A and B are shown apart, each in its own frame.
Chain A
């Protein structure tokens, strides 16, 4: 299922349907505009961002102690804490909890970590039926697709697509594309799921060291519906979700939904501190490469991310290439600095899927310098030999040309000659610069030639 296409190849396929790409672009830009409107209503927005960034910097430098504090407080609250070094261990822990209870079905609210770990595939191989309860996630799950956006999992689909999928799987009326009708169908279908599942899994938005509680934010109420009706609550988190104190939630809850969708807050911001009487609550704390990222000075601040998706909504490349072209659980600009840490060779293309325009950095609520990190990853990836040979050869060739005036002069002349007399050699599909744009008309002479001539003329004039 995992696509092996490079980002640019997948983007080229996505771009074949021009109307649809325009629609995708506009839809995400609409979300970005909603974010701006919400942000502009808060006069101290920039101070909030700065404060959030400082809290997260403090977390990075005290990660070890905060995690111990969280663990001990959570245990006092009656929560069982598990530690998973990687995706495989995470999946095994979750499965072992299911096995202990002899349960074969799970209801799951949104968790990008479980996407990163491919938990659904793992559990399905073990004969466990997982139902994703977030509407967008349920839609893509029925279509056997991964989410294309961390906040809006089905943002790449039109209502006609959803209607088709629901007609096939939930028996809705063929051709009824009304979002209200389709959502109602999903509500009924999932209500039955909530009422019958004994194990509910959720993600974690924030874990508070001071109190040992976790906070989960949803608009649909699906996390709560799952958890409060189940016997066992499993919450999975990357260790970077930790924040020091309860009062710090004020900063993050003001920023999160406004940055994500332009809402003043999500409908539900649920604080889970203890399991219900006689029930169980487990938290799985996952590393899966995060400790390595923490040690990379240039990239560690990517661990400050609160997963709002603002960087995706604003990114001109994301908007016009779609989340699936990033072949990673977290797409877009932030995904492109997280992914190479997970697997450098598989994700070497992603830091190049950017114009480095910096819009992502400007909207990030915790002030991650995303575009700088994309640029730095490119250097690391080239040095470590993960970029395509063609690119390396071309860059080396370019370096030789630029370092040698004679060669540079010749190359310029040759280029102008070719563009003038044999334009077909550059105006063809083999030249990526020709894609969606005309090559410029070649100038009669280069700047060097012009300068030489004119400098001489003006010198002659002066001498007269």
Chain B
């Protein structure tokens, strides 16, 4: 008998016979608070930064002023082609190792934990938000939801091969609980809020 059969049979035999019903999630996440303020406060608290911008031109000038634009910049946002390359989607992902800044869009953000939801259709390549030294994510102000419950309502049955919530820069506290930003992924995250 295969292990699959043995395991499944044993599970069937040993699992509790009384069926426990699934709980209703409808009563969760209904607390009301100022969504954008909460988002900003939490993001600051976990080491991220934000900039409110009116349009893509404002992002371009911010990036020119604050990042080393002579280094490699990549994006999936056509409006940012002036400052970042848009021709790398089919390259070997390893070739992205020297990227200084990746700029992508998020579907939405979550106020309670400042996480941003991105999926592979926004990423160009799955590794694009993990491999650069710095990361910038653009999100519409109206696309911030309160809690993870609204977040998954919004995701619903969305089809993706890969999706991730990104909350702040990569970090570790594995050495004596001292927080260090930039463990393996981005050392810094800037969130651009668009109207």
User: Shortest beta-carbon distance, A192 to chain B, in Å?
Assistant: 10
User: Contact between A291 and B10 (Cβ–Cβ < 8 Å)?
Assistant: yes
- Interchain CA distance A305-B147 in the complex, whole Å: 23
User: Contact between A250 and B25 (Cβ–Cβ < 8 Å)?
Assistant: yes
- Interchain CA distance A326-B150 in the complex, whole Å: 41
Would you list which residues of chain A between 38 and 59 have a CB under 8 Å from chain B? 42-44, 47-48, 50-51, 54-55, 57-58
- Chain A residues with CB below 8 A from B177, complex form: 27, 30-31, 152, 155
A153 at interface by CB-CB < 8 Å: yes
- Chain B residues with CB below 8 A from A194, complex form: 184
Contact A267 B94, CB 8 Å, known A27-B177, A274-B162: no
Which residue of chain B lies nearest to A255 when distances are taken between CB atoms in the complex? B148
- Interchain CA distance A248-B23 in the complex, whole Å: 10
Contact A182 B175, CB 8 Å, known A264-B46, A271-B162: yes
User: Contact between B152 and A295 (Cβ–Cβ < 8 Å)?
Assistant: no
- Chain A residues with CB below 8 A from B186, complex form: 221
For B183, give its contact among A85, A152, A220, A274 (CB under 8 Å).
A220
- Interchain CA distance A182-B186 in the complex, whole Å: 17
User: Contact between B152 and A249 (Cβ–Cβ < 8 Å)?
Assistant: yes
Would you list which residues of chain B between 141 and 182 have a CB under 8 Å from chain A? 147-149, 151-153, 155, 160-178, 180, 182
For B15, give its contact among A63, A221, A265, A285 (CB under 8 Å).
A63
Contact A247 B25, CB 8 Å, known A58-B20, A162-B175, A229-B93: yes
Residue among A187, A194, A267 with the highest chain B CB neighbour number at 10 A: A267
A349 at interface by CB-CB < 8 Å: no
A25 at interface by CB-CB < 8 Å: no
User: Contact between A135 and B172 (Cβ–Cβ < 8 Å)?
Assistant: yes
Which residue of chain B lies nearest to A160 when distances are taken between CB atoms in the complex? B176
User: Shortest beta-carbon distance, A226 to chain B, in Å?
Assistant: 9
Contact A133 B184, CB 8 Å, known A47-B28, A273-B160: yes
- Chain B residues with CB below 8 A from A62, complex form: 15, 19
Using a Cβ–Cβ cut-off of 8 Å, how many residues does chain A contribute to the interface with B?
Answer: 90
Residue among A265, A276, A300 with the highest chain B CB neighbour number at 10 A: A265
- Interchain CA distance A224-B177 in the complex, whole Å: 23
A263 at interface by CB-CB < 8 Å: yes
- Chain A residues with CB below 8 A from B21, complex form: 54, 58
User: Contact between A264 and B114 (Cβ–Cβ < 8 Å)?
Assistant: yes
- Chain B residues with CB below 8 A from A55, complex form: 22-23
B97 at interface by CB-CB < 8 Å: yes
Which residue of chain A lies nearest to B177 when distances are taken between CB atoms in the complex? A27
Using a Cβ–Cβ cut-off of 8 Å, how many residues does chain B contribute to the interface with A?
Answer: 73
- Interchain CA distance A20-B72 in the complex, whole Å: 46
- Interchain CA distance A120-B11 in the complex, whole Å: 28
User: Contact between A294 and B126 (Cβ–Cβ < 8 Å)?
Assistant: no
Which residue of chain B lies nearest to A109 when distances are taken between CB atoms in the complex? B184
- Chain B residues with CB below 8 A from A183, complex form: 172, 174-175, 180, 182-183
User: Contact between A83 and B7 (Cβ–Cβ < 8 Å)?
Assistant: yes
User: Contact between B162 and A219 (Cβ–Cβ < 8 Å)?
Assistant: no
User: Shortest beta-carbon distance, A291 to chain B, in Å?
Assistant: 4
User: Contact between A270 and B94 (Cβ–Cβ < 8 Å)?
Assistant: no
User: Contact between A60 and B16 (Cβ–Cβ < 8 Å)?
Assistant: yes
- Chain B residues with CB below 8 A from A153, complex form: 174
- Interchain CA distance A244-B186 in the complex, whole Å: 33
B42-64 Cβ-contact flags toward A at 8 Å (1 or 0): 10011000000000000000000
Which residue of chain A lies nearest to B30 when distances are taken between CB atoms in the complex? A44
User: Contact between B131 and A225 (Cβ–Cβ < 8 Å)?
Assistant: yes
- Chain B residues with CB below 8 A from A300, complex form: 14, 16
- Chain B residues with CB below 8 A from A159, complex form: 175-176, 178
User: Contact between B168 and A295 (Cβ–Cβ < 8 Å)?
Assistant: no
- Interchain CA distance A249-B149 in the complex, whole Å: 9
- Interchain CA distance A327-B18 in the complex, whole Å: 35
Which residue of chain B lies nearest to A90 when distances are taken between CB atoms in the complex? B3
For B180, give its contact among A58, A180, A222, A266 (CB under 8 Å).
A180
B66 at interface by CB-CB < 8 Å: no
User: Shortest beta-carbon distance, B161 to chain A, in Å?
Assistant: 4
- Interchain CA distance A273-B13 in the complex, whole Å: 30
A191-229 Cβ-contact flags toward B at 8 Å (1 or 0): 100110000000000000000000000011110110111
A136 at interface by CB-CB < 8 Å: yes
User: Shortest beta-carbon distance, A115 to chain B, in Å?
Assistant: 16
Contact A48 B28, CB 8 Å, known A219-B172, A274-B162: yes
For A228, give its contact among B125, B182, B183 (CB under 8 Å).
B125
User: Contact between B15 and A60 (Cβ–Cβ < 8 Å)?
Assistant: yes
User: Contact between B130 and A225 (Cβ–Cβ < 8 Å)?
Assistant: yes
User: Contact between A83 and B2 (Cβ–Cβ < 8 Å)?
Assistant: yes
User: Contact between A135 and B175 (Cβ–Cβ < 8 Å)?
Assistant: yes
Contact A64 B20, CB 8 Å, known A247-B152, A254-B147: no
Residue among A179, A180, A244, A294 with the highest chain B CB neighbour number at 10 A: A179
A268 at interface by CB-CB < 8 Å: yes
User: Shortest beta-carbon distance, B16 to chain A, in Å?
Assistant: 5
B112 at interface by CB-CB < 8 Å: yes
A253 at interface by CB-CB < 8 Å: yes
- Interchain CA distance A88-B36 in the complex, whole Å: 51
User: Shortest beta-carbon distance, B160 to chain A, in Å?
Assistant: 6
- Interchain CA distance A291-B42 in the complex, whole Å: 41
- Chain A residues with CB below 8 A from B180, complex form: 179-180, 183
- Interchain CA distance A268-B116 in the complex, whole Å: 10
B91 at interface by CB-CB < 8 Å: no
Chain A positions near chain B (C-beta within 8 angstroms): 27, 30-31, 42-44, 47-48, 50-51, 54-55, 57-58, 60-64, 67-68, 83-85, 89, 133-136, 139, 152-155, 157-159, 162, 179-180, 182-184, 187, 190-191, 194-195, 219-222, 224-225, 227-229, 239, 244, 246-251, 253-254, 261, 263-276, 285, 287, 291-292, 294-295, 297, 300
Interchain Cβ contacts under 8 Å between A and B, 5 examples: A62-B19, A84-B3, A180-B178, A220-B170, A220-B184
Additional 9 contacts, C-beta under 8 A, given A135-B175, A220-B171, A264-B113? A47-B28, A187-B183, A219-B170, A225-B130, A248-B25, A250-B25, A251-B148, A291-B10, A294-B15
